[in-house]
Amino acid sequence: MATSRKQPKLAPDAPLVRAKARYVRVAPRKARLVADQVRGLHVTEARNLLSFHARDASRDVQKLIESAMANAEANHELIGDEMRIHEIRVDEGPTLRRWRPRARGRATRIDKKTCHMSVALTPTDE
């Protein structure tokens, strides 16, 4: 398993702002490749990296981070641009099973995977 950046210690009074995206139609393995690159970054750095990222899952991760920033501003009276990604997680969702007709009356199964993504932001120390 690949090693990822260690999460810095959280101050005891620092709020955690969370956001979830469930049943996202992208394979969890592909979304984890994107999530691993932004873990621990400042949100402005993460948004810049994701806006030029080649993978399609980067749009879903970017929307999730922007949703968490909006939650910070609306619910916790924090400034969204002064946050850091404390935790980002991609879990497996249900698999949609479809069938494709093949030669000689046979069929093969096509698995369309989904994932559940969650992110937690915390204010920066500065």
pLDDT for 121:
96
Say what the pLDDT of residue 17 is: 94
Domain boundaries, the chain: 27-123
| CATH match for 27-123 among 3.30.1180.20, 3.20.20.80, 3.90.470.10, 3.10.20.740 | 3.90.470.10
pLDDT at 4 over 80: no
The answer for residues whose C-beta is within 8 angstroms of residue 41's C-beta and 6 or more apart is 49, 84, 85
**pTM, whole model, 2 decimals?**
0.86
**Pairwise CA distance, residues 28 & 116, whole Å:** 8
pLDDT digits (tens, 9 = 90+) for 12-45: 677 899 999 999 999 999 999 999 999 999 999 9
Asked if residues 115 and 91 have their Cβ atoms less than 8 Å apart, the reply is yes
Q: Residues in the chain, how many?
A: 126
Phi-psi region of 37 (alpha: psi -120 to 50; beta: other; left: phi over 0): alpha
Eight-state DSSP code of residue 10:
P
pLDDT band (50, 70, 90) for residue 110: very high
